[in-house]
């Protein structure tokens, strides 16, 4: 949590939303009420600063309410809205954690980990260490081939 002082614009946003806590404010309504927010009519993100300020307000312990976003509108969160927002964040975090695990598994599987670990270690004159780094893992097909070759030589 951040305890830095909120900017005057952030306080203005918080006060506006608190003035009518059950109302979903559009970006245009916010920009018309708070002139510090520029509004870009023909752009996809008409006022990116509102979302940035929402994050700052939600992360600040000096305010006791949270702001939620739904369909590009902002309001003070009810308990139920907070719980939905929280569940949504947890779901995203679980998805991201799974993606990281999948990347780690692929990293290990493809032999990248050994290369990466060797590159992290201080380079030495030991050619064996450098040579080991670039050895490809033996595939099942090549393993079968070497078994067949040894049977032939028997």
pLDDT at position 65, please? 93
Domain ranges of the chain: 8-77, 84-138
pLDDT at position 14, please? 96
Provide the whole-model pTM. 0.61
pLDDT at position 141, please? 54
- Residues of the chain with pLDDT below 70 are 1-3, 43-45, 110-154
pLDDT at position 117, please? 62
CB contact set of 58 (below 8 Å; sequence gap of 6+): 66, 67
pLDDT at position 50, please? 93
CB contact set of 25 (below 8 Å; sequence gap of 6+): 16, 17, 73, 74, 75
pLDDT at position 118, please? 61
pLDDT at position 115, please? 62
Sign of the torsion angle spanned by Cα atoms 69, 70, 74, 77: negative
């Amino acid at each position: 949590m951040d305890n830095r002082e909120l900017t005057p614009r952030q306080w203005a946003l918080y006060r506006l939303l608190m003035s009518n806590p059950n109302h979903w404010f559009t970006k245009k309504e916010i920009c018309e009420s708070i002139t510090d927010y520029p509004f870009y009519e023909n752009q996809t993100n008409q006022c990116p600063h509102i979302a940035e300020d929402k994050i700052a307000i939600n992360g600040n312990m000096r305010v006791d309410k949270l702001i939620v976003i739904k369909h590009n509108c902002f309001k003070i969160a009810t308990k139920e809205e907070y719980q939905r927002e929280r569940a949504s964040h947890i779901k995203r975090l679980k998805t991201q954690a799974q993606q990281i695990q999948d990347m780690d598994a692929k990293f290990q599987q493809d032999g990248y980990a050994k290369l990466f670990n060797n590159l992290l270690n201080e380079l030495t004159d030991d050619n064996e260490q450098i040579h080991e780094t670039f050895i490809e893992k033996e595939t099942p097909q090549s393993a079968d081939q070497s078994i067949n070759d040894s049977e032939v030589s028997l």
